[in-house]
């Protein structure tokens, strides 16, 4: 088993509750981790037998382009698409960071993290 990661994917998107966020947009950073059995892919040197991180990026890119009021909504869409595209994974973890959120003060980022399977946030240990 191995963790396949896509870290620091940057997108400019128009998510937010407030009208100015939807008009001006801002930068988002997305991290995705997928736990999968890569033995067959490694033995056969076969990209199609593993989780292709280019596909992970494209899933994130497509979903980040769809404006939503909440990054929770975007995150849920990404997690669903990953599970649908790679049904044999053991789990996925996703973090979406909204850079410099408009909160009236200096804030580096706000974020939401989703996890399922082996990455379940509420798992003991």
Q: Return the minimum-mean-pLDDT range out of 28-37, 54-63, 74-83, 100-109.
A: 100-109
Is residue 66 annotated as a catalytic residue, yes or no?
Answer: no
Using DSSP's 3-state secondary structure scheme, residue 76 falls into helix
**Residue 43 and residue 37: Cα distance in Å, rounded?**
12
User: Is 87's pLDDT higher than 60?
Assistant: yes
The residues with which 60 forms a beta bridge, in sequence order, are none
Q: For the structural domain made of 2-117, what CATH number should be given?
A: 3.30.1130.10
Confidence class for position 10, pLDDT limits 50, 70, 90: very high
Using DSSP's 3-state secondary structure scheme, residue 98 falls into strand
Mean pLDDT of 79-97: 96
> Residue 122: its pLDDT value, please?
60
Which listed residue (15, 93, 97, 98) is catalytic? 98
Rounded to two decimals, the pTM is 0.91
Using DSSP's 3-state secondary structure scheme, residue 75 falls into helix
Mean pLDDT of 64-92: 96
């Amino acid at each position: 088993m191995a963790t396949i990661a896509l870290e620091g994917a940057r997108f400019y998107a128009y998510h937010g509750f407030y009208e100015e966020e939807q008009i001006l947009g801002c930068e988002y950073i997305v991290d995705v981790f997928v736990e999968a059995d890569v033995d067959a892919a490694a033995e056969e040197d076969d990209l199609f037998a593993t989780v292709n991180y280019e596909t992970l990026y494209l899933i994130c890119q497509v979903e980040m382009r769809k404006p939503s009021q909440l990054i929770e909504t975007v995150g849920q869409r990404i997690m669903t698409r990953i599970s649908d595209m790679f049904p044999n994974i053991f789990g996925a973890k996703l973090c979406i960071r909204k850079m410099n959120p408009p909160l009236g003060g200096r804030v580096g980022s706000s974020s939401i993290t989703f996890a399922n399977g082996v990455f379940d946030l509420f798992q003991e240990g």
